[in-house]
Amino acid sequence: MPLLAAGILLSGASPAFAASAASVLTLTATPNSSGNDVALNWTNSDKSRPYSYMLYSKSAHESTFQSIPAKDSAKVLNIYPVVAPTVSFTTWQGKSYTLPKSASLKMWMETPNEYDSKGYSKGLISVDTVSIFDFNANPDAYLKNADGSYKYDVLYFGAWDNNNLQDLSAAAEVGTEAFIKTGRGVCFGHDTLVSNDAIANPNFFKLANYVNIETINHYTPLGGSEISVTKKGLLTNYPWNIGGIGTALTVPTSHSNSQIALGDIWMAYQPPYPYCGGVPQSDSNGKGTNNFYLTTWSNCALIQTGHSDGEATPDEQRVTANTLFYLAQITTDTSWNDHKGQDLDAPDRPAISGVTHNSGRTQYTVNYSSQDNATGYQYYVEATGQNDGAKYDSPVVSASLKTGMKGYSIVVDNSPDTVPDGSVTTTSNSYTFSRPSGSSFYIHVAAVDNAGNISSVAHYPVDELVSVTHPVSIGYSIDPNSSTPFTALDIPIINNSTFPVRVSVAELKATSGIGDAAPTSFSDWNSLTAAQTGNGIALGVGISKTAGSGWTAVDLATPVYAGDLASEVPLGTLGANGASGYLALTAKFGLAWTKATDVSHELALNFTIAD
C-alpha cells in the first residue's frame, strides 16, 4: 500500500534540475536497520551562498515523490482566534502562562503529563502564540526575523469552533502563502478553510488548495468523536506511535465542514457519524471525501481540532504533535535521519510446513517459515538559494530498509480466521502447544519484523472430528436347509471425516439367544448335534470388497471371530472425505437347529484418526 500516494505540490512529480549547472548536489542514503530509518547526507559544491533544503522521497509503493520531514525539532507559531476563556499552565521548562483557551496548543505540547514529562511534543516542539488580530495586522512581524528569515517551521491556525468567526486578513493570507511556498508547514484548524452557505472565511479559503481541499457550497457537516487511523506513516508513529491502520482514537466531538479532502487522509470519522447525521460524499468527479479528521497535502494539513472549544483528548494531542512534526520540512542542515523511511513491508505470510503431535495428541507442534521484506526508497534533495530562491536537485538515490525477522505471533483457537495481535509468541520456526478442547482447532501464524510489521496470517485447520456413518443394526439369516445357509448383507461404513480413519473391532459378542464359540471349536461344524448347534456359533466380521472400495489399507485379511476376540483388532483404513467400504459377516455354525431361533450380537467398532 502506498505510504504517500499524492503528487508533489512544491516541485513537481520528478526531480528538477533548475539551477546552476556549476553546482553539484550529491545525496547518499544509508539504511539503518536497528533504528528503522534511513540516514541521508548531502553535500553542496556551491559554498558561495546559503541554501535551505527540502527532502523528497517515495517508497517502492508510491508513484510520486513527496517532501518529507527534515528536522528533529520544530518551532511552531500558533495563530489563535480571540476568545474570552483562558487556560493557565506551566511548561516542562518551568514557565507559567495564562492564554486564551483557543491557544491551548502550547499547553498541549509543552505541559508535562502522565505520558511524557515534556508534554505531548516530547520536548521536540516549541510553540509561540499570537492572536489572529495581531497577526492580521502585521503578519511578517510575527513570521520573520529582522533579517527577513522565517522564525518558524510550522504555523498552526486555531483552534476554536468556527475559528470564532475570525478570518485572515488579506495581508495575512499573502504572508501565509509566502510562508507555505518556502516549504514550511502550515496546519489549519477547525472551521478555518471553510466556504459555504453557513460559514465562510474567504481569505483562509484562498489557501485551501495547498491542502488539496474543495468545498461543498451547502453547509454539509460530517463528524463525531470516534475516529480511526486510515493511513500509516511518519505521521502516525513519530514521535508518538499512535497505531496502525484501523486503530480507534477518541477525540472531542468535531466535524468536517463542507470540505472534500483530495489529499492524504490519515484519520477518518467512524460510522454512524453522529454529528448532525452526516453522510460521506465525494466531489462531483467522484473523488475525495468529506469523511476526514486529518488530511495533509505536501507541507500543509487540515485538522478538525477546535470544534469543542479548546478541549483535546490525549489521542488528539498526540495526533497534533505528530502532525506538527510532520510538517516541519525545511532545513539548512546537510544530514537527516529519515524516520519516514521505515521498513513498512511485512514479512511473507508464514508457510506452514506441517503439524505433528505426540502419541496422545495432547501436544502439537507446528513448523513454519517466513522471511522479512525490505521497503525500498528513493530520495533526492532540493536546494534553494536563500538569497535568490534558485532551486536545483540532487540525483535520485535509492536505499532498501529491512529490519529483519523479530518472531512469530501465534494463536491457537477454535475460530477459522483469528488474526494474531502481533505480539511475538516465539522466535523459533516451530511452536509446541497443548491441544485445545473441541474436535477441531485452528493455528494462526503471523510473522513479525523488527519494525513491528505483521505479515498476513497463515491459518491452518486441524480437524479431528471423526465422523462415520454405519447402520444401527443389520441382520443375517441361517437356513440350515439351504445349500448356502448363511446369508448377510455387507455392512457399509462411510468415512465422512477429512482424514483417513482406522476401523477396528473393539467388541463382538453374543447378547441373546446364543453363545459364542471359537471357529476352531469343531472340526466339522456340519456334524454338530442339536445341543451343540444351539449352544453357540462362531460369528466373525472382516473387510469385504477391497477392490474398488474406499479401503486404503488392510490390517487383517481374515475375519475376526467373537469367540477369538481378546482385545481390539484393527481391520483396515478407510480413506477420507466420504470414502466407503464394507465389512462382511461370516459364521461357522451347526445345522441341527430344532426350531426357529432369533439371536443377537453386539458389534462395537472403533474409528480412529489414521495418520
Residue ranges in contact with other proteins by CB under 8 A:
361, 438-439, 464-482, 485, 487-489, 491, 496, 506, 511, 513-514, 526-530, 537, 539, 585, 590-609
Would you state the cell numbers that stand for residue 169, as one nine-digit string? 486578513
Shortest distance (Å) from residue 118 CB to other proteins: 57
Instruction: Give the nearer residue to other proteins in terms of CB position, either 228 or 496.
Output: 496
Helix (H, G, I), strand (E, B) or coil at 346: coil
Place of cell 439369516: 477
Instruction: Give the nearer residue to other proteins in terms of CB position, either 114 or 524.
Output: 524
Instruction: Give the nearer residue to other proteins in terms of CB position, either 552 or 608.
Output: 608
Place of cell 467512524: 270
Residue 284: partners with Cβ closer than 8 Å, 6 or more residues away:
none
Q: State residue 590 phi and psi, 5-degree precision.
A: -85, 170
Shortest distance (Å) from residue 453 CB to other proteins: 37
Rounded Cα gap, residues 412 and 438, in angstroms: 12
Rounded Cα gap, residues 473 and 496, in angstroms: 19
Shortest distance (Å) from residue 273 CB to other proteins: 47
CB of 31 within 8 A of CB of 399? yes
Rounded Cα gap, residues 445 and 408, in angstroms: 7
Instruction: Give the nearer residue to other proteins in terms of CB position, either 275 or 476.
Output: 476
Would you state the cell numbers that stand for residue 182, as one nine-digit string? 518556502
Shortest distance (Å) from residue 550 CB to other proteins: 16
CB of 440 within 8 A of CB of 463? yes
Per the document, the length of the chain is 611
| C-alpha dist (Å) from residue 169 to 102, 136, 181, 409, 567 | 19, 5, 18, 55, 98
Shortest distance (Å) from residue 599 CB to other proteins: 4
Instruction: Give the nearer residue to other proteins in terms of CB position, either 197 or 479.
Output: 479
Shortest distance (Å) from residue 535 CB to other proteins: 13
For residue 183, which of 381, 317, 395, 22 has the smallest C-alpha distance?
381
Shortest distance (Å) from residue 479 CB to other proteins: 4
Instruction: Give the nearer residue to other proteins in terms of CB position, either 98 or 594.
Output: 594
Strands 538-544 and 185-188 come out as unpaired
Shortest distance (Å) from residue 306 CB to other proteins: 59
Instruction: Give the nearer residue to other proteins in terms of CB position, either 433 or 593.
Output: 593
Shortest distance (Å) from residue 506 CB to other proteins: 6
| C-alpha dist (Å) from residue 198 to 165, 194, 216, 218, 446 | 11, 9, 11, 7, 50
Rounded Cα gap, residues 502 and 43, in angstroms: 75
Instruction: Give the nearer residue to other proteins in terms of CB position, either 419 or 468.
Output: 468
User: What end-to-end distance do the CA atoms of the chain give, in Å?
Assistant: 42
Instruction: Give the nearer residue to other proteins in terms of CB position, either 9 or 528.
Output: 528
Rounded Cα gap, residues 321 and 336, in angstroms: 20
